[in-house]
Homo-oligomer: A and B are copies of this chain.
């Protein structure tokens, strides 16, 4: 997977190229940033995604400029970034962040086969929250036809990870400034039921389970 495009240029020791690492970061994220070029102009659009094996799926309305552009087989760059902490150094210039990020290069393909599209939509829904698909109405034929699904192979991909304490200049360790890491994580709050929720429908188990697990996300 290491190519001229995916090689981590800055701080190469932070680069990591195995598929397991790449996929674990993709699975822990919720939003990707899709980069593509239209008439020389770069666009970076945040969107949800799903993964099945070594394919990343994005979806949306057939009218979406992003999806219309991408299905023409143009080059795309999809980036997922998870922020894990603020790295506070003794010197201003050595401030940094702990993070896990993945960059995937390639060309997206239209998913047109019905069963495959359904599998991709299953993956999206389960990516948002495990157990969700079984607790919702499945897509009907009209919705299936009214949704564009694209697949991007996770082949030319790289991960970049920073962990651990700040790294200051040797002479700065004697300074009287506090240094360290402030861990950051995404915390789920109490579920807010839809105001139009029918009476008697309680928070289901898969949501409760998600909240319990959200600590480790």
Binding site for B on A (CB under 8 A): 5, 9-10, 30-31, 33-37, 40-46, 48, 60-61, 63-65, 75-79, 81, 83, 86, 88-93, 95, 97, 99, 101, 103, 105, 121-122, 124-125, 128-129, 132-133, 135-139, 143, 147, 165-166, 172-198, 201-204, 207, 210-211
Contacts and interface: CB of A to CB of B under 8 A. Distances in A.
A119 B60 CA distance: 42
Contacts of A42: 35-37, 42, 75-77
A89 B136 contact: yes
11 contacts: A10-B61, A83-B186, A89-B136, A91-B138, A92-B138, A93-B143, A95-B125, A178-B204, A181-B191, A182-B189, A183-B189
Nearest to A45: B79
A180 B198 contact: no
Would you list the 10 A-B pairs with minimal beta carbon distance, nearest first?
A: A35-B44, A187-B187, A183-B189, A35-B42, A46-B81, A44-B79, A33-B33, A91-B137, A179-B194, A180-B193
B35 A43 contact: yes
A124 B92 CA distance: 9
Q: How many monomers of this protein are in the complex?
A: 2
B201 A177 contact: yes
A44 B103 contact: yes
B198 A176 contact: yes
Contacts of A186: 83, 184-187
B129 A88 contact: yes
A9 B178 CA distance: 47
A176 B192 contact: no
